[in-house]
Structure 1
Amino acid sequence: MRFYSGLRPALSWLFLLGLSGVLQLTEAAHLTMHSEGAELNIQPIELDAQEQQWIRENPRVTVASVQYPLYLFQDEHGQWSGLNNDVLKHISAMTGLQFVHQESFSTNHMLERLESGVADISTTLAMNEERRQFLDFSHAFGGAGWVFVGRAGLPAVQSLEELEKRVLVLPARHALEDSIRRDHPLIEIRSVKTYAEARALVESGEAYATIENEIGAQLFPSGLLKVGGLVEGKWEADHLAVRKGLPELLSILNKALGAFSAAELRAMRLKWLDGISPAPTPSLGTRLLEWGCWGMGVLGVFGLFLLLWSRRLAVEIKQRREVEKDLGDQLAFQHALIDAMPDPVFVRDLQGRLIMCNRSYEEALGVRLEQVQGRTLCELDVLPQATALMLHDEFMVQLRTRKTRFSRRHLMFKGGSRQVYQWTVPFYGADGALRGLLGGWTDIIQRQTDSGCRCLR
């Protein structure tokens, strides 16, 4: 009895030490998982009276949702998650709309629900002419390319021409199906319900290839499949598809997407498309209670370890916040610097698609970055078609030769011919690999006029 009486204070002290460590670890882990959410300050957007009335009458919006990993999927708890779900949550906080997911089981099933009016919007549909007949599409908020997926052991498919007189398997009513049938009639297209069925036919050899979003194609590593090249000239922009007859909803969604900052969209895409996902913190409460009486030595050491670990996590969180703040300040400075340049400046990737531009570029072509980001000049109606094709071809030649270009020339814009001083230079990453082109131009006549009118003050 005296032994147990003397042992009781030691057991109590060890148990409290372990419990303190667990509590502090739980607090640190909670701070790690929610630090970004706590700092997020989403402001409501301004809506006109008609839009506000529409939300009051239609507070719930039905979303036709199909499992599309990383973009939209159900987690182990049956909750919808992914990049597009985060976008909807953000819009919900801005507008007060409630988005209710209604699961679909294929692209065709989802389109039927939108056509019949059972659902209001979808977040994973690419735009094509067939769909534009009964759907309206919001502003783009990102995008990715289409890639060929073929069988391992065969040469990687690089172009549609390689598929002539071969079987291409696609989910029914695929976004590219109509254009491929029209432009490549020699390709034998076979329709299935889902991407999973399409991949299975390629694996078995019954089809030569399928076409899939370049992000989704990387999620199913298989020794029987090989990802090939990008489908040239085809870009899958991320839109919200709204069934016809809901102009107020389309306007609300466009206003909300327009209010997204570049940093917010970038953070969402990095969270999902770079594979960043918070690891769950295991619960140790049950084990600590079981070990309370029989493992007092182990519990004491374990509690001390947890206490030190929680303090280390707190220090790392503080350091991470400081680094994020510094990076945010640097990014804001760089954006302010490029926007302050009086001449148009742009950055394009290895396929000639626009990565970013400054305000002068937007004003010169009458566009917004969100409308043209991720697209080539040939895909836009901002320049005469001949000018767009010529410039795009020059960009591709420069990327192959890696030569700089500085020239005075006459270029035809929508408003007429202009005499400009144009420059484009290749740029490289820290690893020395070619990343794309940096370029811009100066309106020579305008610059001479401005110089002649300038006076000292």
Structure 2
Amino acid sequence: MLFERGWKHALKRVFLLCLLVGWRVGVAAHLAHDEEQLYIGTVVLSEAERQWVRDNPTVIVAAEQYPLYLFLDEHGHWSGLNNDVLKRISAMTGLQFVYRESFSTAQMLERLETGAADMSTTLAMNDERRLSLDFSHAFGGAGWVFVGRAGEPGVQSLEQLAKRVLVLPGRHALEGVIRRDYPSIELRSVKTYAEARALVESGEAYATIENEIGAQLYPSGLLKVGELLEGKWEADLLAVRKGQPQLLSILNKALEAFPASELRAIRLNWLGGIGPKPAAAGWQHWSRLGYWGVFVVGAFCGLSLLWHRRMAALIKQHRDVQSQLGDQLLFQRALIDAMPDPVFVRDLEGRLILCNKSYEEALSIRFEQVQGCRLIDVDALPRATAGMLHEEFMIQLRTRRTRFSRRRLQFKQGNRDIYQWTVPFYCASGELRGLLGGWSDITRRDAATTGHPH
């Protein structure tokens, strides 16, 4: 009986190990399959355009970081929707695109106007820019939205900003129109959107205007996204310095030949995380795990029959390993539960896979009841708070950015001032595995410091 119990326990341990290996192999195979599906074609260029490509094989792209559209990843490589579009155009035309980073819209325009760069992928079109730039066909777009301070009335129109401070990055696409048609608005210029949002948060400005996709990437307890700016649309275009008709023609031909299904797939890959994901994706993921699990179990059973004479030694070995791992897990669990602040770990879908006692107490839940659930699946927080936090987690997993912020959140027990932190974590091979996060209750800390409720 002792031998049988040990044999079964060893079987379970090895099965779990094999299942993990099978999952990694399955994910790698799935990614490789997706890459093989990438359609590579060419466009028909005139002799003059082919000669231009031979004379100008490298195109300098003035690039300002704009998350999801164009940004530097954790390895320092350019990534994003626009980068994928340029890669596809490069495969179709033979052009090689080289990025030169700019740190503001004004600097990017200056490089194009002085000839230090040939084109850009993130500039919106207006009358002023058309004097020095040509613009390609559109390959997507989004509206402009007002971003105001939480607690203030939502901004719904430019007329509402009369005699108020509107802050925009210098040489913004809408700056000329606003100065001309709305002279009563006090317009203030800064270098970047980050500075604009900071002035709105501090109350020095009443609102800013931003692309609706970009505005959703920075949810904050101090900011709220308002209405769309009626009658204004920011098309996704490629801006080309004047005097390069061949380059503009080549880019337009490539965009015309761009398969619609492929362009849609690229946009969904980068922008789909802002909306709800198809429910079927989770079932497909688990079904693949099930197939690998069946395969691994069958393979292990065959091997176990061949090596049954060594099973006694394996049992002892696995008992020792189990004892060591058990001690480690108990220590880690005790260490996490001893932390006074709530701590949690979520997977790539936002499902809870670990939390400490402080997290359970803060949300009045039991881990056993919510394990494997997303915030929006359980009644632990107000619905609006749960939806906002879940959306933030999904955006963080897509952009792989760390987040540290002081904010006010609504809990079931009321509003709390907290210092929140969330960071992506990776396995030993560098593969993203999920989010590790937590928060400190600043309301309690301030009350303890001052000796009376905050």
- TM-score higher than 0.5 here? yes
The answer to whether the Cα contact below 8 Å between 1:169 and 1:191 also exists between their aligned partners in 2 is yes
Q: Distance in 1 between matches of 2:33 and 2:131?
A: 44
In the other structure, the counterpart of 1:61 is: 59
Note if 1:117 corresponds to 2:115: yes
In the other structure, the counterpart of 1:245 is: 243
Tell me the CA shift for residue 112 of structure 1: 0.6
In the other structure, the counterpart of 2:198 is: 200
1:340-361, Cα deviation, whole Å (9 max, x unpaired)? xxxxxxxxxxxxxxxxxxxxxx
Tell me the CA shift for residue 40 of structure 1: 1.5
Q: 1:54-453 alignment to 2 at 5 Å?
A: 54-275=52-273, 295=321
Tell me the CA shift for residue 35 of structure 1: 2.5
**Residue 231 of structure 1 aligns to which amino acid in structure 2?**
L
- Cα RMSD over matched residues? 2.9
Larger mean CA deviation between 131-140 and 35-44 belongs to: 35-44
Q: 1:36-51 alignment to 2 at 5 Å?
A: 36-51=34-49
Q: Distance in 1 between matches of 2:206 and 2:245?
A: 42
Q: Distance in 2 between matches of 1:165 and 1:296?
A: 70
Q: Distance in 1 between matches of 2:109 and 2:206?
A: 27
Q: Secondary structure at the match of 1:275?
A: helix
TM-score, normalisation: structure 1: 0.57
Q: Secondary structure at the match of 1:154?
A: coil
Q: 1:293 to 1:200 in 2, by over 3 A?
A: same
Tell me the CA shift for residue 18 of structure 1: 8.1
Q: Secondary structure at the match of 1:86?
A: helix
1:156-200, Cα deviation, whole Å (9 max, x unpaired)? 100000001111000000000000111111111000000000001
Tell me the CA shift for residue 19 of structure 1: 7.9
TM-score, normalisation: structure 2: 0.57
Q: Distance in 1 between matches of 2:149 and 2:24?
A: 47
Tell me the CA shift for residue 96 of structure 1: 1.2
Tell me the CA shift for residue 245 of structure 1: 1.1
Q: Distance in 2 between matches of 1:298 and 1:24?
A: 25
Q: Secondary structure at the match of 2:112?
A: helix
**Residue 260 of structure 1 aligns to which amino acid in structure 2?**
F
Aligned length: 280
Q: 1:15 to 1:64 in 2, by over 3 A?
A: same
Q: Distance in 2 between matches of 1:211 and 1:58?
A: 37
Tell me the CA shift for residue 44 of structure 1: 1.1
Tell me the CA shift for residue 225 of structure 1: 0.6
Q: 1:295 to 1:111 in 2, by over 3 A?
A: same
Q: Secondary structure at the match of 1:228?
A: strand
**Residue 94 of structure 1 aligns to which amino acid in structure 2?**
M
Q: Distance in 2 between matches of 1:148 and 1:83?
A: 23
Q: Distance in 2 between matches of 1:123 and 1:108?
A: 14
Q: 1:100 to 1:294 in 2, by over 3 A?
A: farther
Q: 1:27-38 alignment to 2 at 5 Å?
A: 27-38=25-36
Q: Secondary structure at the match of 1:191?
A: strand
Tell me the CA shift for residue 25 of structure 1: 3.3
**Residue 121 of structure 2 aligns to which amino acid in structure 1?**
T
Q: Distance in 1 between matches of 2:320 and 2:235?
A: 60
Tell me the CA shift for residue 295 of structure 1: 2.8
**Residue 246 of structure 2 aligns to which amino acid in structure 1?**
E
Q: Distance in 2 between matches of 1:14 and 1:83?
A: 44
Tell me the CA shift for residue 264 of structure 1: 1.4
Q: Distance in 2 between matches of 1:32 and 1:295?
A: 33
Q: Secondary structure at the match of 1:65?
A: strand
Q: Distance in 2 between matches of 1:294 and 1:243?
A: 69
Q: Secondary structure at the match of 1:88?
A: helix
Tell me the CA shift for residue 296 of structure 1: 7.7
Q: Distance in 2 between matches of 1:263 and 1:298?
A: 52
1:117-176, Cα deviation, whole Å (9 max, x unpaired)? 111110000000111111000000000000000100011100000001111000000000
Tell me the CA shift for residue 14 of structure 1: 11
Q: Could you tell me which runs of 5 or more consecutive residues in structure 1 were left unpaired when the two chains were aligned.
A: 1-12, 279-290, 300-457
Q: Could you tell me which runs of 5 or more consecutive residues in structure 2 were left unpaired when the two chains were aligned.
A: 1-10, 282-316, 326-454
Q: Distance in 1 between matches of 2:249 and 2:174?
A: 27
Q: Secondary structure at the match of 2:137?
A: coil
Tell me the CA shift for residue 50 of structure 1: 1.0
The answer to whether the Cα contact below 8 Å between 1:14 and 1:296 also exists between their aligned partners in 2 is no
1:225-282, Cα deviation, whole Å (9 max, x unpaired)? 111111111100000000011111111000000011221121111111112899xxxx
Tell me the CA shift for residue 293 of structure 1: 11
